[in-house]
Amino acid sequence: MAIRHARGAAPFVSSVPFEEARIRAASLYCSDGRYGEQFDDFLHNALALPRYDRLAVPGGPACLTGRLDVFWEGHSAQQGLDFLAAVHGLERLVLIQHQGCAFYRQWLKVRDEALEARQIEDLHKAAELMRRRHRELRVDAFFARRLEAEVRFEPVALPAGDGVLAQGLTSTQST
Ligand SMILES: [Zn+2]
């Protein structure tokens, strides 16, 4: 009875209308679902990047550091981003790390006291790697800090040459 009902049920139709235009922006962040809504909120509303392409993997930008312990994850993420650059005309990439990431603690065995520094270092490495691979790409980096029930997005200064960080939060028209 229940199965027949399920078969006969009308398919769910999203109330969100489809929009054809791509915005040529992507974000790479951790797949931790507890942060997913906040990542969307930040990218949609603070950075004004609706319909951005998502690359969610455990540890997020950790995979783009060139380290051996993330070799396969890095290979896969680079292929994904190369595809987006080639086919979706990617012009902007937003890298996000989040506080207390379990991928770092449990997979990479990073101690709690060293965690944030390592994540910031990895944002630098990931940005550098992507800018080497795609010279025209604008890369911004952020750290999502949890304060009880709030998640705060702090800009992470990247080495000179990126030069786009301050615009990240204020320029809503440039993309
Ligand atoms: Zn995580």
CA–centroid distance, residue 166 to ligand 1 (Å): 25
CA–centroid distance, residue 31 to ligand 1 (Å): 6
CA–centroid distance, residue 13 to ligand 1 (Å): 31
Cα 47 to Cα 16: distance, rounded to the nearest angstrom: 20
Q: Give the pLDDT confidence of 99-142 residue by residue, as tens digits.
A: 999 999 999 999 999 999 999 999 999 999 999 999 999 999 99
Domains of the chain listed by start with CATH number: 22-170 (3.40.1050)
CA–centroid distance, residue 56 to ligand 1 (Å): 10
Amino acid 9: pLDDT: 86
Amino acid 4: pLDDT: 59
CA–centroid distance, residue 77 to ligand 1 (Å): 15
Dihedral sign computed on CA atoms, order 94, 67, 120, 111: positive
Amino acid 165: pLDDT: 44
CA–centroid distance, residue 145 to ligand 1 (Å): 12
Cα 130 to Cα 91: distance, rounded to the nearest angstrom: 11
Amino acid 162: pLDDT: 47
Amino acid 87: pLDDT: 92
Residue 109: φ, ψ to 5°: 60, 40
Amino acid 156: pLDDT: 98
CA atoms within 13 A on the CB side of 129: 21
CA–centroid distance, residue 103 to ligand 1 (Å): 5
* pLDDT in 10s for each residue of the chain, 175 residues: 555 556 668 999 999 999 999 999 999 999 999 999 999 999 999 999 999 999 999 999 999 998 988 999 999 999 999 999 999 999 999 999 999 999 999 999 999 999 999 999 999 999 999 999 999 999 999 999 999 999 999 999 998 654 444 344 444 444 4
CA–centroid distance, residue 87 to ligand 1 (Å): 28
